[in-house]
Structure 1
Amino acid sequence: YATDLFYNTEDVRSILGSVAPYAVPQVCSRSLGKDIGFKIKVSHSDALMILKSWIASQTSFSASMDQMCKFYTFVSEGFATATIDIKREFLSCSSIFTPLNRARSNDFVPGKFLSPKDLYWHDPTGCSEIITEKVISMKNKISMFPRKMLSSAYPSLCEFFTEACGVPKVPKTSDYVDILLGLSNAALPSEVANQVFHVFARWANDLHSANDNMNDILFLEGSLQKLETTILPTLGDKWVSLHPSFGLVCWVDDNELMQHFEDYNGVNFIQFGELSYEDKQLLYGRIAALLKSLGIPALSKVIYREAIFYGTVDNREKVTVISWLLPYMQRYIYKMHRDTYVNFQQNEITKLSNLQVIVVEKLFHKYKLKERESSCKRRFKCNCLLQVSIYLSINYLLFICFLFL
């Protein structure tokens, strides 16, 4: 029907572009076209009808981002004047065009229509931009994928997409897993470690402020256990996950300890790049708590000191001295450091029910990974050492031992 066709005018074309039901051949007279029944103006309901036809089309859809910006701006005006019910008409399907690759704003670019819940307005970590830049720089290896961040495609339509259409302002937890996977496929860990840190910082802050965060924790934990979810950057400049095939994965809370194990196979240290003082405070606070909940321990928690000693001697004198000192030391700590004393009393791990004292002639220790055969090759001379419930000391040492029994 003539009433279903548009008269191809500049005004109509600026909104609908070239992919619209225009009357062909073009009628030269505007008034004649109007008399025939062709539409010479685009209403907001017309725009929704055209959008639905684009979405339902079986062929690939291409458009310039300039034209799509004008189209959604027109739709947003209909929403502002209450002539369009966005929730009923707009959100019931995949209705937002996202380009599959980057092009100049007036060039035609293939794209897909996605649902608001599958998109986000802006990624404050910068990961999305890096992925785009890296993929473009790969030249012949370019793979086309939908740009889920709308701020670069529709910079003037933030309020419409986020407030009216319900597009999240920032990526969800699951979105960031996909973003990090894209990042790991496009760049080396050493190139983007700091961006990964900012993703973990967002996770840590979001989960800290959320009342019900267990689902997100379980999702992240489950994702990281998969072999293919290699989104953890390591000092070996390789991406790993928490799958057992990668061995031990931990974060470094002691650089000196790390130096003893950085060349060992099966031990992966997460690296977050150069961190500011504020970033380090966040790492040792909320991010450390997040990593622990995900099953990623701090290095100091998986290392212990193994004693190496030669020549045992009579220990009766030292046993007597320790037995005499312990009550006084406990009283001193209880009075001067009450909080510390209470914390130790409440921590079952730090309690000792028995203490064996061994006096030796020579005493060394080396660092060893818990529940693993790996240990550092270098050994260190020491004067005393508490290993589980055994206190070792060299024969000539005058010592004071602080123990909480």
Structure 2
Amino acid sequence: QVSSGSLRNVIGFKTNVSHSDALMTLNLWMTSQVPFSASVDQMSKFYTFVSEGAADAKIDIKREFTSCSSIFTPLIRARSSEVVHGKFLSPKDLYWHDPTGCSETTEEFVLVKNRMFPRRMLCSTYPNLCEFFTEACGVPKVPTTADYVEMLLRLSKVALPSQVAHQVFRVFVRWATDIHSVSDKNDLVYVKDSLQKLETTILPTLVDKWVSLHPSFGLVCWSDDDELKQHFQNCIDVDFIQFGTLSSEDKQILYGRVAALMKSLGIPALSKVVHREAIFYGTADNREKATLLCGLLPYMQRYIYKTHRDAYINFQQNEIMKLSNLQIIVVEKLFHKYMLKGHESSSKKRFKCHCLLQV
């Protein structure tokens, strides 16, 4: 540091750092081949200074920041005054805050494994620079759908499903809310396509393993009937999605928005993939019962048409379900067992019944 003012003037040293100088310095840091280290306190002061230039319109921050990786993120969690290794990322690779808490959970598990990765949520690193990063630099306020898929994939590599199942549920709730509120379905398509890949194992299951919707994992469904689940939870060709222990409020969300989301993603409810198969002994004369039912059918049709119009139309369009194909069989003893559609698995227990409609 030169203390003589006259000497500084003669030599031509700058007496003040301009905002353009700061951007030039940032560019040198970004392009340097040497790993960059700094403390969060140092970088906070630096970005605060840059933000002042942006506020005075002295520099075009969006042009400078969106075109390159210009935001420093530490690779490990440390005190704000501690100098640590970090990485420069572009605004599109970051987000300000994660309302699901999944980002923080992922970071905690990664730290346990002593692994280093850039912290993408800026609110915990630069809490006082929200407006600068989100408004001036264009950092998204919340993670994108792709961010969440990547986040869950990273989480699945460092934690067991039983440890973070509820965290996955929070992400599904977020997706269900976002996809329901916008007309653009690109995010839904992205999640659906991602889940079809073998490597995107981000679905937590009852047997504490991660799966995707790739055919190699077999049938993946969610349980909307606890009694039915008891009959199939030990079957090897079906996996049940397990979101952990849910509150009564969470269960309402599960059976509402999240159920609709899973249906759109191709994850069926258990009740939709189970049918009852008849087990009977002995046959008897069916003429009396057949005459009775045939007389009642027109009234039953009229009732269904008036009260369940959609079901009636679907019924009529299904060739297998046409009434002309209806057969009435009277038996001496009748039981049923539960079967998974398209699979050999069935319930070990059979149930006595008096009548059964089987397709």
Could you say whether these structures have the same fold, taking a TM-score greater than 0.5 normalized by the shorter chain as the test? yes
Is 1:344 the equivalent of 2:306?
no
Instruction: Specify the code of the residue in structure 2 equivalent to 1:183.
Output: L
Distance 1:36 1:299, change over 3 A: same
Deviations 1:26-47 (A, max 9, x none): 4454653454322232211111
Which structure 1 residue ranges, 4+ long, deviate > 6 Å from structure 2? none
Is 1:237 the equivalent of 2:208?
yes
Residue in 2 that maps onto 1:48:
23
Residue in 2 that maps onto 1:83:
58
1:199 aligned to 143, 149, 171, which one? 171
1:145 aligned to 113, 117, 126, which one? 117
Residue in 1 that maps onto 2:70:
95
Structure 1 or 2: larger helix share?
A: 2
Q: Which runs of 5+ in 2 are unaligned?
A: none
Is 1:281 the equivalent of 2:252?
yes
Is 1:157 the equivalent of 2:129?
yes
Instruction: Specify the code of the residue in structure 2 equivalent to 1:122.
Output: H
Residue in 2 that maps onto 1:32:
7
1:63 aligned to 27, 38, 45, which one? 38
2:221 aligned to 243, 246, 250, which one? 250
Contact map agreement 1:345 1:351 (CA 8 A) in 2: no
Distance 1:324 1:211 in 2: 48
Higher relative contact order (CA 8 A, sep 6+): 2
1:119 aligned to 90, 94, 101, which one? 94
Contact map agreement 1:344 1:351 (CA 8 A) in 2: no
Distance 1:317 1:211, change over 3 A: same
Distance 2:303 2:347 in 1: 37
Determine helix, strand or coil for the equivalent of 2:267. coil
Contact map agreement 2:220 2:240 (CA 8 A) in 1: yes
Determine helix, strand or coil for the equivalent of 1:110. strand
Is 1:270 the equivalent of 2:241?
yes
**Alpha-carbon distance, 1:289 to partner:** 2.2
TM-score, normalised via structure 2 length: 0.94
Determine helix, strand or coil for the equivalent of 1:387. coil
Distance 1:33 1:278 in 2: 69
Residue in 1 that maps onto 2:155:
183
**Alpha-carbon distance, 1:247 to partner:** 1.3
Distance 1:89 1:331 in 2: 69
RMSD: 1.7
Distance 2:138 2:63 in 1: 13
Distance 2:304 2:141 in 1: 51
Deviations 1:303-327 (A, max 9, x none): 1111000000011110111112223
Distance 1:87 1:343 in 2: 52
Instruction: Specify the code of the residue in structure 2 equivalent to 1:48.
Output: L
Paired positions, count: 355
Determine helix, strand or coil for the equivalent of 2:232. coil
Q: Which runs of 5+ in 1 are unaligned?
A: 1-25, 389-405
Deviations 1:19-74 (A, max 9, x none): xxxxxxx4454653454322232211111111111111111100000010111111
